[in-house]
Amino acid sequence: MTEARLEIIDLTVRFGGVRAVDGLSLSHSQGGVLGLIGPNGAGKTTVLNVLSGAAPPTSGEARLNGRRITGLRADRIARAGVARTFQNLQTFHSLSVLHNVLVPLEARAAAKPVVGLFAPLLRGGQLRQRAADLLGRVGMADQLDTPVASLPYGARRRVEVARALAADPRLVMLDEPLAGLSRAESDDLARLIRSVADSGVTVLLVEHDMVAVMRISDRVAVLEQGQLLADGTPAEVQADERVRSAYLGDELDYDPLLHKGDKRAEAAARQRVATDPDAAADPGLAADPDVAADQEAAADRPPQTTDRRRREPRAQQ
Ligand SMILES: Nc1ncnc2c1ncn2[C@@H]1O[C@H](COP(=O)(O)OP(=O)(O)O)[C@@H](O)[C@H]1O
Ligand SMILES: [Mg+2]
């Protein structure tokens, strides 16, 4: 499979007086995982909406492998190789895991004519096999007949990824796939996302979980108020002063992977945990044994007033 070549050219999306996306230009042709981060309201979902044909741009355009996709209908864009998942789960809860993947496969197949008396039967068997293969790929092979409604949240997210892959995309766009997952579920799904990218499907990953984004992205683009604030490797973005001072400094202060062995960063993280109960709940910090030990000590102390600006619960959209 060839990697997707995505070009976003001077894209603007206005909702009344709000410029959700404001003159955004961004090209990506090296495959892998492109992380798209930024605070709530930065315009991330709107970018995905434009790229999937769910929202028209006010001006500018987007191209996939040289072909203009803005202005095309959503089904045409899907056929051009773009698939997505949504911030809110879009699985059919009452259907089985297998059927959730069969439905999009059947819809695609229905668009192509079959010839011959037994062809539909044959095709039905092939589609079931393909659905089962896709579900095997996301680690759901042994739960094909389970109703999605009875699955834990992390498993539903896996089914959603399999549904997106059913379209055989070149570019798959995931809107906060890790939101609401436990740390273990999140780690599993992050690994799956990485493996999807390694199989040659370009992944555009919108995600708030900074530790995961920085760990699995090859490149990270930072949006703020609809504009590109920074763009580079995870290490470059984490070191970028504008990004840190704009809004992410707190979350980017310490990544146990990137800062392993960086004594100053570790000491700063420990200090923060000792004085900030919110930081103690940070999954990135919790993964670090030294920090975990300090968290236990900190837990014995009475809570202190902290700046909650950056850690308010996110509104779901
Ligand atoms: N359909 C819409 N109608 C009006 N305003 C919208 C609509 N969709 C998004 N917005 C606004 O556009 C901005 C960007 O939103 P969004 O793309 O959802 O941001 P993000 O996904 O980064 O949180 C926000 O100010 C949001 O309120
Ligand atoms: Mg969003």
Q: What is the pLDDT along the chain (317 residues), one digit of tens a residue?
A: 567 999 999 999 999 999 999 999 999 999 999 999 998 899 999 999 999 999 999 999 999 999 999 999 999 999 999 999 987 777 788 899 999 999 889 887 877 766 666 666 667 788 999 999 999 999 999 999 999 999 999 999 999 999 999 989 999 999 999 998 998 999 999 999 999 999 999 999 999 888 899 999 999 999 999 999 999 999 999 888 888 876 554 555 545 444 444 455 555 555 555 555 454 454 444 444 444 444 444 444 444 333 333 333 444 44
- Report helix angle 97-110 to 153-165, nearest 10: 20
Cross-sheet strand order for the sheet of 219-224: 82-84, 171-175, 202-206, 33-37, 219-224, 227-232
Angle at CA of residue 231, ends 54 and 308, nearest 5°:
80
Give the Cα separation of 247 and 236 in Å (integer).
Answer: 16
Nearest protein CA to atom 6 of ligand 1, as residue: 15
The confidence score (pLDDT) of residue 292 equals: 47
Instruction: Pick 6-81+169-242's CATH classification: 3.40.50.300, 3.40.50.150, 3.30.1360.170, 3.40.50.720.
Output: 3.40.50.300
Would you say 276 and 213 are in contact if contact means Cβ atoms under 8 Å apart? no
**Cβ(45) to ligand 1 under 6 A?**
yes
Q: How many A from CA of 296 to the centre of ligand 1?
A: 39
**Cβ(42) to ligand 1 under 6 A?**
yes
Helix (H, G, I), strand (E, B) or coil at 290: helix
**Residue among 72, 60, 31 nearest 217 (CA):** 31
Give the Cα separation of 197 and 298 in Å (integer).
Answer: 39
Q: How many A from CA of 43 to the centre of ligand 1?
A: 6
Give the Cα separation of 310 and 317 in Å (integer).
Answer: 18
Q: Which ligand is nearest to the CA of 225?
A: 1
Q: How many A from CA of 315 to the centre of ligand 1?
A: 12
Query: Which pairing describes strands 227-232 and 67-68: parallel, antiparallel, or unpaired?
Result: unpaired
What the block records as the tokens of 285 is: 């910090």
**Cβ(23) to ligand 1 under 6 A?**
no
**Cβ(59) to ligand 1 under 6 A?**
no
Give the Cα separation of 134 and 130 in Å (integer).
Answer: 6
DSSP conformation class of 17:
T
What the block records as the tokens of 229 is: 């604030």
Q: For residue 206, which atom of ligand 1 is closest to its CA?
A: 21
What φ, ψ does residue 86 adopt, rounded to 5°?
A: -110, 160
In a mutational test of the pocket of ligand 1, which residue from 21, 46, 316 has the highest number of ligand atoms less than 8 Å from its CB? 46
The confidence score (pLDDT) of residue 86 equals: 85
Give the Cα separation of 82 and 204 in Å (integer).
Answer: 10
Q: How many A from CA of 20 to the centre of ligand 1?
A: 6
**Any idea where the domains of the chain sit in the sequence?**
6-81+169-242, 253-311
Distances (CA, A) of 115 to 69, 89, 121, 125, 268: 32, 36, 11, 16, 68
Nearest protein CA to atom 3 of ligand 1, as residue: 15
Per-residue burial over 199-210, b = 16 or more CB atoms within 10 Å of its CB, e = otherwise = eebbbbbbbbbb
> Would you call 247 exposed, middle or buried from its count of C-beta atoms within 10 A (0-12, 13-18, 19+)?
middle
Q: Which ligand is nearest to the CA of 47?
A: 1
- Report helix angle 289-299 to 263-275, nearest 10: 20
The confidence score (pLDDT) of residue 117 equals: 64
Nearest protein CA to atom 25 of ligand 1, as residue: 41
- Return the amino acid letter for 258: L
The confidence score (pLDDT) of residue 1 equals: 54
What the block records as the tokens of 265 is: 């960063």
